[in-house]
Each structure stands twice: as structure tokens, then as C-alpha cells.
Structure 1
């Protein structure tokens, strides 16, 4: 069994949405102070690095992170290379065999320099989620910070995905991952009030 980490590493300087809370880690207590342990403090946005979006992020009546079913974040995933496309719609995935797949991970390769927040990304079209719901897909993952264009305010893809009862996983790292079927694990913390949550996303290579 081979485990592939598809999470962004979090550190001072991890790019975040312009104006959002930057990532920060500091020791509040040191081993010298306590006599036994170091104790750190994290400060960051709920949408830092590799993360999931809860519907509450863009819908006041949407579910929050702790309300989401955990089985949506575990299961067979298909990684597909869609590099070079401006956007991804239903027609771009209709050739795929999704018979035994519940998660679809899209390798757009449109966020080339991950040390800087991108100004443009490959985004998802509104017709993609309804099609994937019909095929039994319950999670969409992308290697960019959002499923919508960076400057979008009405977030059509987010709302289409929510209406299709599909979960959103953003900011995964697929640079070195080949196309194929894997087992995905990307569990969020049980945050009862949160609109999103960074995750440690991994793929298990079945071969």
C-alpha cells in the first residue's frame, strides 16, 4: 500500500485569499517555561491550504462543517488530468467511467506557483455537478483555491454543487499524481460553527 499526501504544507507564507487571515504558528509556552512541554498556537483562515467548503460558507442556511457526513470524505476517487482547459463542464467528463467512483479529483495544473495566490484558475461550470450527481459522485476535488473564478461573487459552481448534494475539496496537490483510481481520505475536524476546514488529504494507491 502506498500513501500519497495531496495536502499543501502549512507554514508562514502559505498563500491565502487576499485580505484573509494569514497562517501563523507560535509557541505560547516553551519547554523551558513549563519544565516539560512546548505548547503552540495556530491562527489561520478556515480556507487555508487544502480545505473543504461547508455549504454555510456561501449559504446562510447551509450545513456547517460538523454537520457534514464523514463518508463523503472517504472513498474511491478518480484522478483525471484536465490540464489546459479554461473551465470544466459536463461534456469534459462524459467519457469517464464513474461506475465504481464516488469522488472525482480534477488535475487542472492551473495554479503553477503555489507560493503565490493565483489571479486566474481553471473553474467549474454549473452543469458539471448535476451530471456528476447522476453518476453517483458525492465529492469534487480541485487543485486550485476555488471551484469558481477567483473574482466571482455569485459563486454559481458552489451553489450548483450544493444543490447536487456534493462536497467540495479545494487546494489539493496533484502535481505528481498519475491519472487513475485511488482511495481518498480527507477528513475535516468536527467544527460545530465553521464554514470550512483545512484537511490532511491523502490518496491510497490500490496497486
Structure 2
């Protein structure tokens, strides 16, 4: 087996949702200045970088990540789909229909659009003209794919900044506002190195912080090599 990390390091230079806070990192104690150990103070928006949206993010009746079963974060039957998209484009129902049988068997869906190539080369457009999943596609997933417990993507957010109202509705669908179940959302991943044919399992372990809806997440893929 081989293990590959799909989540990014958290860095001040990373792109964030336009207008939102990101991260500040500053020394708290430093050996170089006479302290006995190195420590850092981190101020972080919980929806920055690779992170997982819990149901509470858009659904006030939904659970926070720390309240959910641990089995939620281990994906035994992940499905990785290549669905190429460019600036401000949406993944739509017609993009998913050819994979309906596979989607119904999977417990998690990861979409590789190829848009992650802009994360370093054009950070502003990566954030402000990102890909999204349409609300109709999210409704279709909720109605037709009851075994899914997570959806991950190689762009900044389920919502495209260019389609804000539709993106809000998309979040509401997946996070359970209109259904008896919910699907967690894993945003801003690096899926470049994954061969779908060798993908065995995915572990997505967020920080479990009391009171917050969602959190940064470490995502690891297990590959059959």
C-alpha cells in the first residue's frame, strides 16, 4: 500500500474565499531568542485551506464535526471522477449521470476538475472565479446517492464565487436542510497524484474543536500499489 496526502499545508500565502479572513502565524516562544522551546500562535478561519464543512455550517439543526460518528471520516468505497472544468464553471447533473451506478455504490465522491493547477499560478482567479457544483447537481446527489457521506473537490469551495446564490443552496442541500441525511463537504484538495483504479480508502480527519461547525482537515488516500 502507498499513502498520499491530499490536503495542503496551511500557509499565509494560500488563496482564501474573497473577502474572508485566512490565517496568521506568529512566534509565541522561540529558542533563538532565549526561550526553552519553540511555540506558535495560530489565528485561523475554520473555512480556510483544506477543510471539511460539517452540517452545522449551513444547517442549524445539523451536527458539528466533533459530534459526528468517527466512521464518517473513513471512506471505505471512495469514487474519484475526472470532470474537467474551468473558470466559474459548474459541475451539473449531466456531468454525473453517466456515473450513476458507481455513485450509488460509493460512500464518498471526489471530483478532479483540473482546476487546482491555478492554485499557485493564479491565486486571485482560483478564489474569485472558481469551479462549483450546481444546486441541482447537489439535489440529485442527495436524492439518488444515499450511501454518500462526503464529497471532496480540487477547488476552493463547493460554491463558485461567481454563482453565490446557487452555491448557498448547494451547501444547504448537501448539509441536510431539505433531507433526513447529510453529506460532508471537503474543499480545496490536491487530487493530482491519485490513480482512480488504485484508490482503496480515504481518511479525512478534521480538527475536533468544541463549538465550531467545521474545521481544517487532513486527508490521506490509501492506494493499492
Q: Equivalences for 1:50-69 in 2 at 5 Å?
A: 50-69=50-69
Equivalent residue for 1:93, pick from 90, 93, 99: 99
In structure 1, runs of 5+ residues without a counterpart are: none
Q: Equivalences for 1:174-189 in 2 at 5 Å?
A: 174-180=191-197, 181-189=199-207
- Structure 1 residue 118: deviation in Å? 4.0
Q: Equivalences for 1:8-87 in 2 at 5 Å?
A: 8-33=8-33, 35-76=35-76, 77-84=78-85, 86-87=90-91
Aligned mates of 1:147, 1:200 — CA distance in 2: 18
Are 2:102 and 1:104 equivalent residues in the alignment?
Answer: no
- The count of residues paired between Structure 1 and Structure 2 equals 204
In structure 2, runs of 5+ residues without a counterpart are: none
| RMSD (CA atoms) | 2.1
Aligned mates of 2:132, 2:21 — CA distance in 1: 24
Q: 1:26 to 1:179 in 2, by over 3 A?
A: same
Equivalent residue for 1:144, pick from 142, 150, 155: 155
TM-score for both structures, normalised by structure 1: 0.88
Is the Cα–Cα contact under 8 Å of residues 54 and 65 in structure 2 kept in the other structure?
Answer: yes
| Deviating more after overlay: 107-116 vs 45-54 | 107-116
Aligned mates of 2:44, 2:107 — CA distance in 1: 30
Q: 1:123 to 1:92 in 2, by over 3 A?
A: farther
Aligned mates of 1:120, 1:146 — CA distance in 2: 8
Is the Cα–Cα contact under 8 Å of residues 130 and 157 in structure 2 kept in the other structure?
Answer: no
Between structures 1 and 2, the one with greater helix share: 2
Report the counterpart of residue 165 of structure 1 in structure 2.
182
Equivalent residue for 2:208, pick from 182, 190, 194: 190
TM-score for both structures, normalised by structure 2: 0.81
